[in-house]
Amino acid sequence: MQQTVYDAGSRKYSFTQLDEISGNGSFSALPVSVEDRNGNLLNFSWSFGSASFSMTDTLGRTLSASNFGTSGGTVTVPGLPAYTLQWTTVSPSYSVYPHAISGNGSCGPVLTAGGTLSVISSITLPNSEGSYTFQYDPTYGRVSQITYPTGAWIKYTWGLTDTLSEAVAYANTTGFDQACQYQMYAPVVRSRQVSYDGQHVALTQTFTYSTTWDAQTPLFWDSKTTIVTTTDNLRNLTATTTYTYIPIFSPVPPNETSKLTEQLPLENTITYKDWDGSVKRTVTKGFTGYWGDLLSMERVALDGGQTSETDYSYAGLGWLKEKDEYDYGSSPHGALLRKTVTNYAVFSLPIYGRPSSVIVDDGSGTRIEETDYTYDASGLTASGVGVGHDSSYSTSQTVRGNATSMQKWVNTGGSWLTWNYTYDDTGQ
């Protein structure tokens, strides 16, 4: 049975099969094809059993992987010798120390991390350009060092959060949905070091985390904070950046009864402190939209008390409609500098939009710039391309969302400059 998924750019992803990964009940798939709005195809051929796959584009070029997941396996890109991958295994073993908040009596244990995972240990580049190597934390199974072909490296130290930071809910032993609810700790990066020459540490960062839980509903958190302390090891100077987050709810997959990380963090404020500890800049963000994840406001406050702001509003399926930019001034911001309004041409299912006009006004409402677009207004020429192109996208299929004209308004004389475009049936 074929499943089809469209993204916001009207690209179509077609799936025909899911394969189980290592017999653990998890399933994954590559699409059999990806098609853009001009009928150009990426075709996939793959087999989990042989750990190999290939991808062929419209021009007949093929990217392929052989024995992926096995040391000595290769990835081949057109025009280059093969990349060679080496693999190793890690066996993470740690507990998240769950704290029961309901349903403790009939709940099974929260599993600790365990098992064995296959991970990449090195990638040898083509043309004898060296290799990337990867090391892993033995407790948490996560990347602990990346070494670049030049010898430079980045190191990560892992640990659990200092406080309970995540929540999980699942059915109890009698099958009552989400009866078992726990708060728990989570593995996080505790420090990061950077060396540009492979010997001297140029930069050190440490990370601290905290979570404020909702007093009425302890399965949910109200805010999170991460403090990043950055040390310039060459000058022995230290500065901090503090991030605070607000939650949005993530959609739960169909037929899923358990909930893990039901809330996702969005940056709410970022506070930048200088080497001397003084606050130099604070950025505050607001959000809107059905899921609450569309940026609606970004305010920048400087240490001298001056504040600027940019506001955003949306139309359709989250398309940016208006952007208002304000100068620095007394709180909440200074005078309006620029207003940008975008109108959209809406195309047929799957619904997507492309700008029909972008109009910019100055702070007094006077138009200073405008660009207009017209789509699919001229005929198509035959390209003669057969391989990698959907035959139903011939010259008679003209609804594609291709800009066939663009007009720019000349604000010094009120005239228009016009560009006209024609396309072949592949969208070129």
For residue range 139-183, list pLDDT tens digits in order.
999 999 999 999 999 999 999 999 999 998 887 777 777 788 889
d(CA 46, CA 346): 36
Residue 109: alpha-carbon gap to chain centroid: 33
d(CA 361, CA 344): 18
Name which of 43, 37, 32, 36 is nearest 387 in CA terms: 43
Q: Are 181 and 101 in contact (CB under 8 A)?
A: yes
What are the structure tokens assigned to 95, written together? 């507990």
pLDDT of residue 272: 98
Confidence at residue 21, expressed as pLDDT on a 0 to 100 scale: 47
Chain position carrying tokens 């179509």: 12
pLDDT at 22: 46
CA distance 366 to 269: 33
Residues 6 or more apart whose CB falls under 8 angstroms from that of 381 comprise 395, 422, 423, 424, 425
- Written as one letter, the residue type at 79 is G
Distance CA 301, CA 419 (A): 42
Tens digit of each residue's pLDDT, the chain (428 residues): 678 888 888 899 998 866 554 444 556 677 899 999 999 999 998 776 677 889 998 888 999 998 888 888 899 998 889 999 999 999 999 999 888 887 555 787 666 777 898 999 999 999 888 999 999 999 999 999 999 999 999 999 999 999 999 998 887 777 777 788 889 999 999 999 999 999 999 999 999 999 999 999 888 999 999 999 999 999 999 999 999 999 998 877 766 767 777 899 999 999 999 999 999 999 999 999 988 999 999 999 999 999 999 999 999 788 999 999 999 999 899 999 999 999 999 987 677 889 999 999 999 999 999 999 999 999 999 998 878 899 999 999 999 999 999 999 999 999 999 999 999 999 99
Asked whether the beta carbons of 164 and 99 are under 8 A apart, the reply is yes
Q: What pLDDT does residue 349 have? A: 66
Please choose, from the candidates 147, 229, 239, the residue with its C-alpha nearest in 3D space to the C-alpha of residue 196: 147
Contact 325, 334 (CB under 8 A): no
Distance (Å, whole) CA 35 – CA 46: 17
Distance from CA of residue 241 to its chain's centroid?
Answer: 22
Q: Cβ-count burial of 239 within 10 angstroms (0-12 exposed, 13-18 middle, 19+ buried)?
A: middle
Nearest alpha carbon to residue 192 among 215, 213, 172, 208:
208
> What tokens were used for 419?
């560009």
What SS3 state is found at 128? helix
- DSSP label at residue 393: S
Alpha carbon 267 to chain centroid, angstroms: 14
Strands 33-35, 41-47: pairing is antiparallel
Question: What is the distance, to the nearest Å, from the Cα of residue 256 to the centroid of all Cα atoms in its chain?
Answer: 23
Q: Percent helix, strand, coil in the chain (nearest 5)?
A: 0, 55, 45
Q: Which of 260, 210, 254, 204 is nearest to 233 (CA)?
A: 204
Phi and psi torsions of 126, nearest 5°: -70, 165
Apex CA 229: angle with CA 226 and CA 232, to 5°?
155
